[in-house]
Amino acid sequence: MRLLACADKFRSTLRATEFANAVEQAVRDVTGDLSEHTGQTGWTVRSQPMADGGEGTLESFGGANRVSRVTGPLGEPVEAPWRLSSRRAVIEMAAASGLVLAGGADENDALAATTTGTGELIGRAVDAGATEILIGLGGSATTDGGLGAIRAIPALSRLTGVDLIVACDVRTTFVDAASVFGPQKGASSAEVSLLTARLERLSAAYREEFGVDVSTVEGAGAAGGLAGGLLAIGGRIVPGAEMIADAVDLFGQMEQSDLVITGEGRVDATSFSGKVVGTVIELAQTLERPLPVLVVAGTIDEAARSRLREAGVAFVDLSEDHGEQAALADAAGCVTRSVGRWLRSPASGLRL
């Protein structure tokens, strides 16, 4: 029995690698019982951390192997982790320009927050010889339309021949970034109006300087318009979960698996639109042979449950199994217990 654990993070409670470790512990518990009573062994668990372009993107590729000092979102220096392997660089903009670095929405200066540090990381990647740069856009503090990043990249001509891939999981357009995401970053209603006007001016400036109209492109508003700014200088916006799945050959890993276990903190309607859970289910359904999928989540709303049932996908709701408080306080333990219970149950279809 070959299991593939390929979940997204459970925000604030469980990293994707910790999820895989919890699944592996469940398998050890089950196979320990089996070997004691039947001598059956041979189960394996492969871990492939996933993300949708936000936090966890680095982890999907094996984690950071470099750290650079760059300009933080409010101008202070920060140590930003990133990755370079086989001329592919992976950057999480949140590591350089994230809301957490600004102290959260209450401490953030929504008007001043800048993507300068992200641009500096792109420059470091080019200096190091990267010919492909993947940029995950989740968790930003900024609504500067990517202007800080563009200004921080030394000589934009050096990006010629570099594939700049912008991974996101939203469809928000460039100017709408202020009204949709500004309040989450601490912007008042008056500041949202100012930010909207700034993005309108930037959209016109990008069209004039680079010949690219970012105003109507879905996803250009990701990370406060950083996606649109990078699009203007030659980047391409892609759905994050699909991009990561392709880059790590998730399809190929599924072909070598008998069961896939995926999940995220909350599964709802958005989980089926460019998120990890929906992407994993879609890939599993394209295989030549049926591949069962188990979805594990902190909570699963009723609409998502109906969607999963229609797709023939099994699911586990940790809050339902253990209570909301326990699911938050000991997410890993709850995953281990619930997955182990499901593997032993008739619902799994496994003959134990």
Q: What's the pLDDT at 169?
A: 85
Q: In the predicted model, is pLDDT for residue 117 greater than 90? A: yes
What tens digit of pLDDT does each residue of 134-150 get? 999 999 999 999 999 99
Residue pair 70/80 in contact (Cβ under 8 Å)? The answer is: yes
CATH number, position 21: 3.40.50.10350
Greater pLDDT, 54 or 260: 260
DSSP characters over 110-133: TTT---HHHHHHHHHHHHTT-SEE
Look at residues 78, 122, 85 and name the one whose alpha carbon lies nearest to residue 234. 122
Residue pair 284/250 in contact (Cβ under 8 Å)? The answer is: no
Final residue belonging to a domain, choices 209, 242, 275: 242
Q: What's the pLDDT at 32?
A: 78
Residues 189 and 266 in one domain: no
Q: What is the mean pLDDT of the chain?
A: 94
What tens digit of pLDDT does each residue of 217-251 get? 999 999 999 999 999 999 999 999 999 999 999 99
Residues 328 and 272 in one domain: yes
Q: What's the pLDDT at 36?
A: 44
Residue 183 backbone dihedrals phi, psi, to 5 degrees: -60, -30
Final residue belonging to a domain, choices 224, 242, 260: 242
Q: How many domains does the chain have?
A: 2
Residues 21 and 162 in one domain: no
Residues 294 and 154 in one domain: no
What tens digit of pLDDT does each residue of 184-209 get? 999 999 999 999 999 999 999 999 99
Residues 167 and 293 in one domain: no
Residues 343 and 288 in one domain: yes
Residues 220 and 300 in one domain: no
What tens digit of pLDDT does each residue of 71-99 get? 999 999 999 999 999 999 999 999 999 99
What tens digit of pLDDT does each residue of 262-273 get? 999 999 999 998
Residues 238 and 263 in one domain: no
Q: What's the pLDDT at 39?
A: 45
CATH number, position 85: 3.90.1510.10
Q: Please tell me whether residue 32 adopts helix, strand or coil conformation.
A: helix
The rounded distance, in Å, linking the Cα atoms of 216 and 213 is 7
What is the H or E stretch that residue 340 is in? helix 331-344
Q: What's the pLDDT at 141?
A: 98
What tens digit of pLDDT does each residue of 271-327 get? 998 899 999 999 999 998 889 999 999 999 999 999 999 999 999 999 999 999 999
The rounded distance, in Å, linking the Cα atoms of 156 and 161 is 11
Residues 272 and 193 in one domain: no
The rounded distance, in Å, linking the Cα atoms of 132 and 284 is 28
Structural domain that includes position 174:
57-242
Residues 41 and 69 in one domain: no
Between helix 189-210 and helix 222-232 the angle, nearest 10°, is: 10
Q: In the predicted model, is pLDDT for residue 153 greater than 50? A: yes
Final residue belonging to a domain, choices 221, 242, 263: 242
Residues 235 and 268 in one domain: no
What tens digit of pLDDT does each residue of 41-61 get? 578 999 999 999 888 999 999
Q: What's the pLDDT at 38?
A: 40
What is the H or E stretch that residue 199 is in? helix 189-210
Residues 143 and 38 in one domain: no
